Amino acid sequence: MNTKLHAVTDRNGRPLDFFMTAGQISDYTGAAAPLDGLPPAEWMLAD
């Protein structure tokens, strides 16, 4: 069993939020939780 750590940073790379999910959870599902609490953005970079 493994885990994934999802991170949200500001434009300078400083961490704003982290969220851990089980390894079998899709990245799309895992990314939704930390992004829901953020204000709307003009652009986003995801990997």
pLDDT tens digit sequence for 10-41: 889 899 888 888 999 888 887 777 777 788 88
- Show the tokens assigned to 16: 């704003």
Yes or no: say if 4 and 18 are a contact pair by the CB < 8 Å rule.
Answer: no
pTM of the predicted model, to two decimals? 0.63
Q: What is the pLDDT of the chain when averaged over all its residues? A: 83
Yes or no: say if 25 and 3 are a contact pair by the CB < 8 Å rule.
Answer: no
pLDDT in tens, 5-16: 888 888 898 998
